[in-house]
Amino acid sequence: MSSTTTPVVDIHTHMYPPEYVKLLESRSEIPLIRRFAGAKDPRYIILPAEAESLDKIAQGESANLPGRPVTSHYSLLTQKIHFMDTHKIDISVISLANPWLDFVASDEAGKTAEDVNHEFEAMCGEYPGRLFFFATLPLTAPEDVLLAHVDFVKGLKHCRGVILGTSGLGKGLDDPALIPVFKAIATAGLVIFLHPHYGLPSEVWGPRATAEYGHVLPLALGFPLETTIAVARMYLAGVFDQVPDLRMLLAHSGGTLPFLAGRIESCIVHDGHLVREGKVTPERRTVWQVLKEQIYLDAVIYNEVGLKAAIDASGVDRLMFGTDHPFFPPLQSDEQGEWESMTWNKNAVEKALGSNNEGVKQVMGGNAAKILRLTEDA
């Protein structure tokens, strides 16, 4: 890649370092990795509904294998590079996938996070200029350990931010206890990559969901709504005003925020309680302003219709391309070939921006290279 060429950058791409895999294999409760007789790959089991199938198998009852297969795409570094080369991706910003370290005991979280992030740093070092990462935080650790770890990852050469789930310290991202953490992250110049996991309560999907609908409803609807709710709570709690230097990259094009921001605004200004409390003032920053000032969106939405809404809400200069690899592999073709997760998202960018080649270049990599300082190690 020449210095004058705009790189193609994938900012939404996951990996499981070997130490993380070992941790999951050692567990007897979800999340865990379990091997089954006759199955080619071990299975990663993270959802309660999947645990129910695991119990049935343990009791000798017939059941489909729970979880998702952990193929070489999840943890093999050469496989990640092969995926990048196949799809002409110059740079990837890798991150651990959900549920990160949210399940680790408090007294073990700090050391576990250090080990995992050291592994990410080492992997990036094997391919200088091609790999960077979002670090994982020990959210279950005491505050002093957590804050110290923010300072620790800031010093890692290839770290460009942290990945965070919507539960935060367990009470959500509007928890006042998170303000010192947000301030530390902002002061360190790190971007938060906000990614959903826990979704909505399983009863929302109805009694037929688990047996008949697969994972479609929680993944397609639960994840985006989870992100939308988390950021709306942060906004209502005044987090963005308390930490004005905070920068967040939202997975899946911001969930439904680009579509619902206007409705959120209407509900705020027409809420009697907020008006009486003096929280609706002429000086108040709107949701729209926060989206254009403190929020970035990824382009993992697979279609130009949703992508146009994301561009309108946040701006073409704040959108970054992603694939969500190694999730959503092709089921009817060779995994070593082209993935829809790449081609659909790339086509969406080109269709949404039409002949605007400069805008396409920005979204496909220019924005990420600038915002995340990805050419420093090229």
> What's the confidence (pLDDT) of residue 2?
45
> What's the confidence (pLDDT) of residue 257?
97
Rounded to whole angstroms, the Cα distance separating 133 from 113 reads 14
Across 122-142, average pLDDT? 97
Which has the higher per-residue pLDDT, 60 or 328?
328
pLDDT digit string (tens) for 193-246?
999 987 788 889 998 887 788 889 989 999 999 999 999 999 999 999 999 999
Across 289-317, average pLDDT? 97
For residue 210, the domain's CATH number is 3.20.20.140
> What's the confidence (pLDDT) of residue 377?
52
The contacts of residue 183 (CB under 8 Å, 6+ apart) are: 243, 246
333, pLDDT greater than 90: no
Among 30, 47, 70, the domain boundary falls at 70
Tokens encoding 243: 């930490």
Q: Are 308 and 351 in contact (CB under 8 A)?
A: no
> What's the confidence (pLDDT) of residue 283?
92
pTM score over 0.85: yes
User: Does 93 lie in the same domain as 51?
Assistant: no
378, pLDDT greater than 50: no
User: Does 236 lie in the same domain as 188?
Assistant: yes
β 295-298/248-250 pair status: parallel
3-state secondary structure of 131: strand
Q: Are 73 and 326 in contact (CB under 8 A)?
A: yes
In a domain, 378, yes or no: no
In single-letter form, the type of residue at position 215 comes to: H
β 91-95/9-14 pair status: parallel
Exposed e or buried b for every residue in 112-127, given b needs 16+ CB within 10 A?
A: bbbebbebbbebbeeb
User: Does 58 lie in the same domain as 125?
Assistant: no
180, pLDDT greater than 80: yes
User: Does 311 lie in the same domain as 231?
Assistant: yes
> What is the average pLDDT score of the chain?
93
The contacts of residue 237 (CB under 8 Å, 6+ apart) are: 174, 176
In a domain, 292, yes or no: yes
CA dihedral angle for residue 107, residue 31, residue 25, residue 325, rounded to 10 degrees: -110
User: Does 216 lie in the same domain as 290?
Assistant: yes
> What's the confidence (pLDDT) of residue 198?
75
Burial of 100 (0-12, 13-18, 19+ CB in 10 A): buried
In a domain, 193, yes or no: yes
For residue 355, the enclosing domain spans: 85-372
User: Does 214 lie in the same domain as 163?
Assistant: yes
Rounded to whole angstroms, the Cα distance separating 208 from 284 reads 44
User: Does 272 lie in the same domain as 142?
Assistant: yes
**Alpha-carbon Rg of the chain, whole angstroms?**
21
User: Does 43 lie in the same domain as 154?
Assistant: no
In a domain, 63, yes or no: yes
CA dihedral angle for residue 255, residue 256, residue 262, residue 267, rounded to 10 degrees: -100
| Domain count within the chain | 2
User: Does 158 lie in the same domain as 41?
Assistant: no
The contacts of residue 194 (CB under 8 Å, 6+ apart) are: 164, 165, 166, 173, 227, 230, 231, 248, 249, 250, 251
User: Does 261 lie in the same domain as 176?
Assistant: yes
User: Does 90 lie in the same domain as 24?
Assistant: no
User: Does 50 lie in the same domain as 158?
Assistant: no
The contacts of residue 211 (CB under 8 Å, 6+ apart) are: none
Confidence label for 63 from pLDDT (cuts 50, 70 and 90): low
